[in-house]
């Protein structure tokens, strides 16, 4: 696989803040996760810190922790995805986790579902600039595409509490599919609050996974839920 970084697309905005320097620990983790695709990931972070900031996709306080809190936090999920599968990312926003995961796993197809036009336009520019051929953008609400999306994995990050997220994500699953939702420290509380919704949607008891414990200072919490 080529490690050459593509040239910027003509007309691509270049104003905005510079990306943060990675710490030694962040660089070590990024090299382990992304391998020879790291130059493309650095390019993605440049987009996040410049035009992503200008479009209001992320706040300026997030720039210093762009690698640890956002990109690496999402990317560690890549190792859990099925080879040759399809992943739907609900409420993709700034491409987190969808674009970050697509940079990890070029053998997986990603469908990024996002209703807001400006976010979709931004992601489209970034995807074309990075030359990602395994990403499809869908401008819609999740509930509007339940008849056309059938994914092996559905993921989401910072969209809603689990109780409200289940009706948006479960209908997008293939019969043997599973949810892999990036959550925070309140994951266990969200699971307890979603007990009735889990039963209604015929889902098994969720599993809480901690990913990247050997790579990240703060591991990523993922709630994994399979169908009954």
Report which of 21, 176, 47, 61 is spatially closest to residue 103, judged by C-alpha positions. 47
> What class, spelled out in words, does domain 24-226 have in CATH?
alpha beta
Contact 111, 138 (CB under 8 A): yes
Helix axes 24-34, 38-49, angle to 10 degrees: 120
Distance CA(74)–CA(34), nearest Å, equals 12
Tokens at 188, concatenated: 């266990």
Q: What is the pLDDT along the chain (228 residues), one digit of tens a residue?
A: 333 433 433 333 344 568 889 999 999 999 999 999 999 999 999 999 999 999 899 889 899 999 999 999 999 999 999 999 999 999 999 999 999 999 999 999 999 999 999 999 999 999 999 999 999 999 999 999 999 999 999 999 988 899 999 999 999 999 999 999 999 989 999 999 999 999 999 999 999 999 999 999 999 999 999 998
| Residues whose CB is less than 8 angstroms from the CB of residue 147 and which lie 6 or more positions away in sequence, other chains included | none
pLDDT of residue 113: 98
Contact 142, 156 (CB under 8 A): no
pLDDT of residue 16: 54
């Amino acid at each position: 696989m080529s490690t050459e970084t593509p040239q910027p697309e003509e007309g691509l905005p270049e104003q905005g803040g510079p990306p943060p320097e990675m710490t030694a620990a962040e660089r070590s983790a990024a090299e382990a996760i992304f391998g020879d695709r790291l130059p493309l990931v650095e390019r993605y972070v440049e987009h996040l810190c410049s035009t992503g900031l200008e479009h209001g996709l992320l706040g300026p306080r997030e720039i210093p922790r762009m690698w640890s809190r956002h990109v690496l936090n999402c990317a560690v999920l890549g190792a859990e995805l099925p080879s040759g599968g399809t992943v739907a990312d609900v409420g993709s926003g700034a491409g987190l986790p969808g674009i970050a995961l697509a940079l990890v796993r070029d053998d997986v197809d990603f469908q990024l579902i996002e209703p807001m036009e400006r976010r979709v336009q931004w992601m489209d520019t970034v995807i074309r600039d990075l030359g990602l051929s395994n990403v499809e953008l869908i401008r819609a609400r999740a509930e509007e595409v339940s008849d056309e999306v059938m994914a092996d994995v559905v993921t989401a990050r910072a969209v809603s509490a689990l109780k409200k997220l289940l009706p948006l994500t479960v209908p997008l699953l293939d019969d043997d599919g599973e949810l892999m939702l990036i959550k925070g420290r309140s994951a266990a509380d969200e699971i307890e609050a979603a007990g009735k919704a889990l039963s209604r949607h015929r889902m098994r008891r969720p599993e809480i996974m901690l990913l990247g414990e050997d790579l990240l200072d703060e591991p990523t919490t993922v709630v994994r839920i399979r169908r009954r």
